[in-house]
Amino acid sequence: MRIKEHPILELAEKPPIPFYFNGKLLYGIEGDTIASALHANGIKKLSESIHLKRPRGFYCAIGNCASCNMVVDGEPNVRTCITPLKEGMRVENQQGKGRIHAK
Partner 1 sequence: MQNKEAIVIGGGPAGLTAALELLKAGASVCLIDRNERLGGQLTKQTHMFFGSEKQYASHRGIDILEILTNSLGKYGNKLEILTETTVVGMYRDKVLSCVSGDKFFKLQGEKIIFATGASEKALPFENNDLPGVYAAGAVQTLMNEYGIKPGEKVLMVGSGNIGLIVSYQLMQAGVEVVALVEAADRIGGYLVHASKIKRLGVDILTNTSVKRAIGKDSVEAAEIWELDEQWQGIEGSERTLEVDTICVAVGLAPLTELLQQMGVNVKYVNELGGNVPILDEQYQTSVEGVYACGDLANIEEASSAMVEGRIVGINAARSLGRSVENADFRIKALRHELKDLRGGPPGDKVRKGLKKLGVAT
Contact residues toward ligand FES (CB under 6 A) are: 58-61, 63-68, 79, 81
Stretch of 18-26, 52-60, 92-100 contacting partner 1, by CB under 8 A: 52-60
Q: Which residue lies nearer to partner 1 by CB, 13 or 23? A: 13
Q: Give, for 39, the enclosing helix (H) or strand (E).
A: helix 34-40
Q: Give, for 20, the enclosing helix (H) or strand (E).
A: strand 16-21
- Cα separation, 1 vs 22, in Å, equals 20
- Cα separation, 93 vs 77, in Å, equals 10
56 lies in the site for partner 1, by CB under 8 A: yes
Write out the residues near partner 1 by the rule CB under 8 A. Answer: 1-9, 11, 31-33, 36, 39-40, 44-46, 49, 54-65, 81-82, 84
